[in-house]
Amino acid sequence: MGNPAYDQYELIAPEYARTFAGEFESRPFDRAILRSFADLVVRAGGRTALDVGCGPGEATAELAGCGLRTEGIDGSAAMVALASQQWPDLRFQTADMFDLPYPPGTVDAVCAWYSIIHTPAEALPELFTEYRRVLTDPGWVLLAFQTDGEPAVYDHAFGHDVALTFLRHDIAAVCTALEGTGFTVYSMTKRARQVHLDEPTAQGMVIAQTS
């Protein structure tokens, strides 16, 4: 696997899953973004979605609940095992999001729900090129990520000693990377930090379609 963060999530997977279980119940705006994304895909004739960096599968299940045939992939086998246990009717597999195990042009939508937070800005074009490869035409992508902040380095998180860096991406820079790799930006959203949810930064959400 190409991302060293995968190994760290092997350590913290159970605690991470418990922390974010039912996250959309306390984040109705975020849920609305996911549902609007699914509606855009369906209205364009799409039926399938891939949740990359799916973690314990919360976003995967949301998209599936919107009528999309959704699969999840994650670089952490422990996360995939938890997702498969929680959502037995959905398909999950361990894979690197820089090397998706799908033929070209076979997926109608790609969702990356907080899965680019360990990807440096300079690597985003390579990642988005891989997303573009597997997408149909028309195809859609949804990105959610932390924004408006400096990188945060953690040596202890979710009850374990770790080595994790959480990157906060600039929304405009993310859009530029998308446009340079064959996408047209449909929407850019910034949601303010919610202190009562222990969020460290504002949240960025971008929807784009294939050009």
Query: What is the pTM (predicted TM-score) of this model?
Result: 0.93
- The pLDDT profile of the chain, 211 residues, written as one tens digit per residue, is 456 577 788 778 878 788 888 889 999 999 999 999 999 999 999 999 999 999 999 999 999 999 999 999 999 999 999 999 999 999 999 999 999 999 999 999 999 999 999 999 999 999 999 999 999 999 999 999 999 999 988 888 788 788 888 899 999 999 999 999 999 999 999 999 999 998 999 999 999 999 8
**HEC secondary structure over the chain:** CCCCHHHHHHHHHHHHHHHHCCHHHCCHHHHHHHHHHHHHHHHCCCCEEEEECCCCCHHHHHHHHCCCEEEEEECCHHHHHHHHHHCCCCEEEECCCCCCCCCCCCEEEEEEECCCCCCCHHHHHHHHHHHHHHEEEEEEEEEEEEECCCCEEEEEECCEEEEEEECCCCHHHHHHHHHCCCEEEEEEEEECCCHHHCCCCEEEEEEEEEC
Report the pLDDT value the prediction gives residue 82, as an integer from 0 to 100.
93
